[in-house]
Amino acid sequence: MKYLKIILIGILFPLISTAQSNFQPGFVVTLKGDTIKGFINNEKWDSNPIKISFKDSLNTNNVREFNKNNINYFCIDSLVCYKKYSSSISLNNIDIDNLGSESDTTYKVDTVFFKVLQYGKYVSLYSYTDKIKTRYYLGEYPDYSPKELIFRIYKNSGIVPINRNVTQEGNTYIENIYLKQLFAAAAKYNSIDGELTRLFNFGKYKDYSLEEIVTKINKHDIDKTHNSKINYFVGAGLNVSSISSNSNYTNDGGQSYSSAFPYISSGINITPDSKTQKFELRFELQLSINNYDNRPSTESVNFNQLNMSFFPQIIYNLFSDPDFKIFLGIGVAVEHHNFYNSFYQDGNNKAVNHFDGYSSEAYMFKFGIKTGKRISFYINKFEDTSITNFGNLVLGNSNTNIGMTYFFGK
pLDDT digit string (tens) for 146-204?
Answer: 999 999 998 876 655 555 567 776 678 889 999 999 999 999 999 999 999 999 998 89
The answer to whether residues 265 and 284 touch, using CB atoms and an 8 Å cutoff, is yes
Q: How confident is the model at residue 19 (pLDDT cuts 50, 70, 90)?
A: very low
6: pLDDT strictly greater than 70: no
Half-sphere exposure of 80 (CA within 13 A, CB side): 21
Rounded mean pLDDT, 83-106: 90
* Residue-level pLDDT at 359: 87
* Residue-level pLDDT at 237: 95
Choose the weakest-confidence range: 16-20, 125-129, 297-301: 16-20
84: pLDDT strictly greater than 60: yes
Sign of CA dihedral 8, 13, 15, 16: positive
Long-range interactions of 38-45: CB distance < 8 A, separation 24+: 40/74, 40/76, 42/76, 42/79, 42/80, 44/320
DSSP state for residue 254 in the 8-state scheme: -
Q: How confident is the model at residue 247 (pLDDT cuts 50, 70, 90)?
A: low
User: Structural domain boundaries of the chain?
Assistant: 16-78, 84-225, 229-407
Are both 16-78 and 229-407 of the same fold? Answer: no
As a whole number of angstroms, the distance between CA 352 and CA 345 comes to 6
* Residue-level pLDDT at 215: 92
* Residue-level pLDDT at 22: 83
**Most confident among 64-73, 156-165, 222-231 (mean pLDDT):** 64-73
Rounded mean pLDDT, 195-221: 90
* Residue-level pLDDT at 170: 66
Strand order in the sheet with 172-175: 152-155, 172-175, 166-169
Choose the weakest-confidence range: 15-19, 90-94, 157-161, 330-334: 15-19
Q: How confident is the model at residue 14 (pLDDT cuts 50, 70, 90)?
A: very low
13: pLDDT strictly greater than 60: no
Choose the weakest-confidence range: 145-154, 197-206, 242-251, 301-310: 242-251
Q: For domain 16-78, which architecture applies?
A: Roll (2.30)
Q: With pLDDT > 90 as the criterion, what percentage of the chain qualifies?
A: 53
* Residue-level pLDDT at 254: 63
* Residue-level pLDDT at 220: 79
As a whole number of angstroms, the distance between CA 28 and CA 42 comes to 13
pLDDT one-digit tens code per residue, 309-363: 999 999 999 887 767 899 999 999 999 988 888 777 766 666 666 778 888 899 9
What does the mean pLDDT of the chain come to?
Answer: 85
Burial class (CB in 10 A: 0-12, 13-18, 19+), 265: buried
* Residue-level pLDDT at 163: 55
391: pLDDT strictly greater than 60: no
Burial pattern 113-143, b for ≥16 Cβ within 10 A else e, equals: bbbbbbebebbbbbbbeeeeebbbbbbbeee
The class level of CATH for 229-407 reads mainly beta
* Residue-level pLDDT at 161: 54
Q: With pLDDT > 70 as the criterion, what percentage of the chain qualifies?
A: 82
283: pLDDT strictly greater than 70: yes
303: pLDDT strictly greater than 90: no
* Residue-level pLDDT at 185: 96
pLDDT one-digit tens code per residue, 36-50: 999 999 988 989 999
Half-sphere exposure of 292 (CA within 13 A, CB side): 30
Choose the weakest-confidence range: 200-204, 232-236, 377-381: 200-204
DSSP 322-389: TTEEEEEEEEEEEEEEEEEEEEEE-TT--EE-----EEEEEEEEEEEEEETTTEEEEEEEEPPEEEEE
Q: Which helix (H) or strand (E) holds 281?
A: strand 279-294
pTM of the model: 0.57
285: pLDDT strictly greater than 90: yes
